[in-house]
Amino acid sequence: MSLSRDQIAARVANDIPHGAYVNLGIGQPTSVADHLPPASGVVLHTENGLLNMGPAARGEDIDEDLINAGKQPVTELPGSSYFDSADSFAMMRGGHLDVCVLGAFQVSAEGDLANWHTGAPDAVPAVGGAMDLATGARSVFVMMTLFARDGAPKLVPRCTYPLTGIGCVDRVYTDVATFELTADGVVARDLVGITPTELAQRLEVPLLTA
């Protein structure tokens, strides 16, 4: 018993404040959009140069000049605006996005993020906008399964994968719990299918009680 990706996305969506400007990273975080009703007033940013991005484009709505950061065809909503990459990243770096949601290989208890490179020697590295988002957004939310396929926890005392950003993650949404990374330590909440004791045993990160 644990949350599906879709259920994690719904939890993230639920925590995004009304009217926030939000960037959803490529991959899983994209699905957060499906849980943000128009009444949320949330404005989606895509770093390739659009504010107020709409849902995926289908059929005749597909326009090769209108894509998201994952290079999938999308739509624009009324009240959108286009800008170039320098302006888009200035917006990100300048702290104007309220929230970004990213995937991760690992997150440390201090909020370090590793999500761009496995460190494997034959891997072709690619970073895209990950470091810019991690550094720039006011709040960085991570969405991931808490354990890798081999059972190793991905919330760790220290990241072993190459870092994307230092001390940048505020919250980690996983299939079994949500973690707040605070100055005092890590707080686990909203546990699903796992007891606090079990969670504490499987992680090497000390947990504070919520």
Site map (CB under 8 A) of other proteins, residues 55-94, x = contact:
--------xxxxxx--x----x-xxxxxxxxx-xxxxxxx
Q: What is the β-pairing status of strands 207-208 and 21-24?
A: unpaired
Beta carbon of residue 15, minimum distance to other proteins (angstroms, whole number): 15
Task: Encode 40-61: b = buried (16+ Cβ within 10 Å), e = exposed.
Answer: bebbbbbbbbbbbbbeebeeee
Please report whether residue 50 would count as binding other proteins according to CB under 8 A.
Answer: yes
Give which of 200, 137, 188 is closest to 180, Cα–Cα. 188
Beta carbon of residue 89, minimum distance to other proteins (angstroms, whole number): 3
Angle at 171 between CA 169 and CA 177, to 5 degrees: 140
Please report whether residue 25 would count as binding other proteins according to CB under 8 A.
Answer: no
Site map (CB under 8 A) of other proteins, residues 109-138, x = contact:
--------x----xxxxxxxxxxx--xx--
177 close to 189: Cβ distance less than 8 angstroms: yes
Active-site residue set: 47
Rule CB under 8 A: which residues touch other proteins? Answer: 17-21, 41, 43, 45-52, 63-68, 71, 76, 78-86, 88-98, 117, 122-132, 135-136, 162-166
